[in-house]
Structure 1
């Protein structure tokens, strides 16, 4: 489970599912709720001017993996950064991930169970209908919808990582009555499991003109516990094919608990220990209503209204001990309450001369109140009186877009669009008042030229202006005090170091602006195979990152080091990638039922206001590679999958003060799927990484010294067993 402040902030506001569309023979736009026919994902992607990659339901069911993230890790077009994040174009943090065409719901959509996913769309550029925030592209995860078919599906799984178990349960029910305009479905999901972390840690310091001297060494042991329970329902009223009304309430509870103990032995020989506990609980309720109407044989309107409520409580505490004696004890509490309202409207129509036009607008209002509490040895921290114990923010936004996909000729297609958004964020923290306004205009243009007798090969060119938005927590002045440099009052809160900097927001943070260009050639090899070569560039203005600086702060009489978001100047990124999916039966009908997939890419980047030569985009690797295969046995209902990925070691300079080293990593995973009966399947899988110990270094460099922190973390293999059945 990954519950972040941003996921809390967006409060499920974009809970409305985006319509899935196709065109009938008369040119009418009609909704599609179930994939039928023999068209492959490779054939479907060729219909889109911008080169949309489709991972359809058939492929999802055949994969045997459990989570969206696992499915995406197999996809050749998806890159994995040095810290494990998935994205596009080897640009970590720049991929927009949507759920049903809208902003994500609570936890990351990549953690969804694939049982509830209809298909996944991937576009490696910015498109007007997806909004202006896909600098490296967009991954849109579309959930399964209620169909006119009565069925029940269950899935149960268990996995273990380092001896720590995790269990999952999913139940879905789809029901309809022949001849009735009503149908409904519901889904229940539960998940509970534990994780384990073990590391050897150390810190050294080098004063100007001297070599590194060990400060301390020790070990860190951590254990986590995640629990999740969610339920949702769709109630649909449909009048023929002309009008549909959908009510989709949902509720979810997620709990994330962590405990860690660090033991340090300084060079002085006096042992110290730090024990910390974290607990986050997130409760969410959303009530979306959607109305769809077919206005004519060529046009359709869609209106959605959503109200959502959220509540979260997070608590962190810790105890320091020196030479076995109990030391200081600190406590940090955050209670968040909020809600959101959203109104989405869209209109789609087919015009003469091959024009398919989409228009849409979104009005959103989000609000949140946070109550803070910080104590040291039972005493409330008076250092925060200036900021108060209450924070409140409000985010209002309005977006409109227009997009025209035009068949210019039999060989040339054009997709042109414009997305405009106005955002107003207001933050109030006692005497601290901030207003951050932005006006964004995002044009996009995509060209596709069909090549070959059967028009299966495509030459594509895309250019788009896109953005990376400022988040509400990035503006907050309320600090997060580093546990190794605690504060209680301004008079007693002494200086800290760059390695123990307090976290704080930045009121003057500006959105990033990016100009992206992508050129690709896709060569088809049969219905399900292709090779794609892609060259891309991104020119970024006002690059957002982190800076560590020494500031006069209201919670300390002495200046303190703080780490805060900042605009680090301009950046550019260039890359080349080759992707391949090959089914041997596309070459020879008598070949084994074997499919091979893979990709390889190179990338380089620079950030202008960060010292070189390691001033790259955060966590971007100079190259990456993937190779995978799927094999179905002849005469036996068993399918095998194997996937491997490689990423090299890399030094990244994240700011003028900090640089990070991450060691190389090789990941291998495999699974076997046994189709016991047409309605029952058993899956066994495993994942492992090499090297077994991952080496990470954080260096903090100032005028007088260089502090290096080393972390050698243990990697554990995961073994999974899952049973699926339709009733």
Structure 2
């Protein structure tokens, strides 16, 4: 199938068949991982002194050639700005926006955008903050779902592929330091990889640490319908902390004479952090709910240790390829949260010391079988199964005034069992037309036990399953025009989280509309979405391209979080299924090397993207009744300059904000952001290079504004967190 789609690959393959085995092992480029393998012919023993082959692998472009739409960020693009976290990398990616530490496609996060690591959901306790660009081989941005991955991707999928085995020696070391008014961060890591005969190994490590400060100011008031303010207060919070951590990823691979391959990898990560802060509230008008704790001294040291292991077997079987992986993960998270709270004049005191330990583990099996069948068909079938369990224990020590301390052990033990099977066929009908058909069935069972002083002992169980068909097609216009058209029809879903499905309740120390209790709902059903994507792409010479994409998602059983008063007069958040929602989007992207614009711009590369998103929640009155606080509009603009040993670049990421209606009574303001970043890279020689970068050059702050309005009046809370420029330096060395 691959040779029919890429004639150049066929020519190179035929040339390779005539090479001696030794030359073939040294020079043959790796075929794309998701393409079926062709049968090998016996090599001749003719003597050839030097052979250099270039073709199939270098000409393959996943975005241009795969039937399923995919944008791939290479390792060079990922490391270009010297970022030390994945969020800064992806905020410059086309079609992706970042809100805090939430990644969004089509302006949607919170489970609508699926985040995968090596094609799988991250293990329990996995912290995206520990995922540094140095560990990443590529990032795949998949707009329309495919059966091979989970269909929990209503907005799309971001698949982060970590570095694995290298075909040549790689010995490098990188050290970095970053600083802003609020933080000081440092890191150092390296890669040691090589290949000897049939064995190849890869070792990546990273050490990091830093100190952060956090400051916020909030103002809250309640006004009667007449406009009279009956409650008003302002609060100030100042906190600081430090963190340290290490990440280690070794991997081994052994290739057998018959072409089979055995892979084994281990991941170890550990971090420790401390945090302390003081909040103080001044009541300006009236009084608030009793007890009204206006002063809070807090500290929360914690940490995490996690280990994961995977064994994979790739074998030729019955004319196809079997890829089987077994993995297991374990982690331990702990946190010691101490709060010393006082009412006005220190009339009442609450000492709350909660020690929490969360032990999680997961075992999973993934297998797929790929084979070329009939003329131009590549068939794949697979199975995914996993069992994830968590054991959370919280020792709650509390003391009110001078009363005897109380002690309670709160437990929470959820178990998540997943089973999925899929089948797909990618059919190259001719050079212009290819079709992808697939279906995936996924079933999920969630069981949990919780024991707390608020609700006592509770056991809940829920089951759900979804059958998701998907169809995609790619049509390339005749000739060498570079124009092509894509169409995708999908059925995706968003499953409720474990916290949403359990009946466990968390109570806030000071219960207000803006700091409410929270509880789950075991009767939640998954959200289902029927989608269509249409994309036009035009690939020009020298890497220039333009694309335009429109999409629509019709969602049923929409899950929203409702704020209510319970029988005891406390505000509580509860998730419910509440009707339908509709999502639409438009995305434009363009890239061009400067030389196409004229000789004066030959050292420049230009890129730009624009996204416009719309959504409508039927159960919430407008205006502003968008889904998940959807980012309505975003754009990126970037330029890179390269000449000799010097490279300079800059990128502007813009997000439009505005008021969002969450319910009949709740609204919140989303911030409009303009993030300007820049870098300078100088190569001293082939072994040493220095990269200097700056983030948030415009010094954007982080304001917030929330409203709750009903017949009784209007509650409003405004907040402010300062931001500043963050500068950094990376020294990269090769040995």
TM-score interval, normalised by the smaller of the two chains? 0.7 to 0.9
Residue matched to 1:132: 151
Report deviation, 1:331: 2.5
1:304 correspondence with 2:357: no
Shift of residue 586, structure 1, vs aligned partner: 4.8
Tell me: CA distance 1:110–1:337, structure 2 relative to 1, closer, same or farther (3 Å).
closer
Partner of 1:47: 65
Aligned match of 2:683? 675
Q: Which residue of 1 aligns with 2:433?
A: 412
- Using the alignment, how far apart are the partners of 1:165 and 1:145 within structure 2? 31
Contact 2:81 2:679 in 1 (8 A): no
Aligned to 1:88: 105
Structure 1 position 521, deviation (Å)? 0.6
Q: Secondary structure at the match of 1:130?
A: coil
CA deviations over 1:194-243 (Å, ceiling 9, x no partner):
22222221111012333445511232222243322121211222213611
Q: State how far apart, in whole Å, the 1-side matches of 2:224 and 2:397 are.
A: 34
1:236 aligns to 2:260 (yes or no): no
Instruction: Report how far residue 255 of structure 1 moved.
Output: 3.0
Counterpart check, 1:426 vs 2:441:
no
1:118 aligns with 2:137: yes
Which range moved further: 395-404 or 328-337? 328-337
The answer on 1:531 being equivalent to 2:546 is yes
Aligned to 1:397: 418
1:156 counterpart (151, 175, 194): 175
Residue in 1 aligned with 2:28?
none
| Structure 2 residue 486 is the aligned partner of structure 1 residue 457 | no
Paired position in structure 2 for 1:665: 673
Matched, 1:102 2:128: no
Q: Judge conservation of contact 2:36–2:320 (CA < 8 Å) in 1.
A: no
After TM superposition, give the deviation of residue 103 of structure 1 in Å. Answer: 0.7
Distance 1:462 1:121 in 2: 17
Shift in alpha-carbon separation, 1:692–1:590, aligned structure 2, 3 A = closer
Task: Give the alignment's TM-score, normalised by structure 2.
Answer: 0.86
Q: SS where residue 151 of structure 2 aligns?
A: coil
Aligned match of 1:370 in 381, 392, 407? 392
Q: 1:393 to 1:25 in 2, by over 3 A?
A: closer
Q: Which residue of 1 aligns with 2:615?
A: 605
3-state DSSP of counterpart to 1:69: helix
1: CA distance, partners of 2:273 / 2:228:
42
Q: Distance in 1 between matches of 2:224 and 2:730?
A: 55
1:647-662 correspondence to structure 2 within 5 Å: 647-662=655-670
Equivalent residues in 2 for 1:584-603, closer than 5 Å: 584-586=594-596, 591-603=601-613
Cα shift at 1:590: 7.4
Residues 307 and 329, structure 2, Cα contact 8 Å, conserved in 1: yes
The runs of 5 or more residues in structure 1 that have no matched partner are 1-18, 29-34, 485-495, 553-557
Aligned to 1:640: 648
1:472 is aligned to 2:498: yes
Q: Please identify, of 134-143 and 189-198, the stretch whose mean Cα deviation from structure 2 is larger.
A: 189-198
Matched, 1:574 2:574: no
* Alignment gaps of 5+ in structure 2: 1-31, 42-52, 288-292, 452-456
Alpha-carbon separation, structure 1, partners of 2:678 and 2:718: 32
Give 1:313's aligned residue.
334
Alignment partner for residue 706 of structure 1, among 714, 724, 728?
Answer: 714
Task: State the Cα distance separating 1:342 from its structure 2 match.
Answer: 1.0
The Cα of 1:540 is off from its aligned counterpart by: 1.1
Contact 2:90/2:98 (<8 A) preserved:
no
2-structure distance, mates of 1:661, 1:380: 44
Post-superposition Cα deviations, 1:348-376, rounded to whole Å, max 9, x if no partner, equal 11122211111110111111111133333
- Alignment correspondent of 1:555: none
Instruction: Please name the residue that 2:298 is paired with.
Output: 276
Distance in structure 1 (CA, Å) of the matches to 2:717 and 2:357: 32
Partners of 1:42 and 1:407 in 2: how far apart?
16
Aligned ranges for residues 192-591 of structure 1 at < 5 Å? 192-213=209-230, 215-240=232-257, 242-267=259-284, 272-295=294-317, 299-322=320-343, 325=346, 327-377=349-399, 389-430=410-451, 431-454=457-480, 456-484=482-510, 496-552=511-567, 558-586=568-596, 591=601
SS of residue matched to 2:696: strand
The Cα shift of 1:483 comes to 2.6
Partner residue, 1:74: 92
Name which one, 1 or 2, has greater alpha-carbon Rg.
2
CA RMSD of aligned residues (A): 2.8
CA 1:412 to 1:455, structure 2 compared with 1: closer, same or farther past 3 Å?
farther
Q: Confirm or deny: 8 A CA contact 2:137 2:161 kept in the other structure.
A: yes
How many Å separate the matches in 1 of 2:312 and 2:375?
A: 31
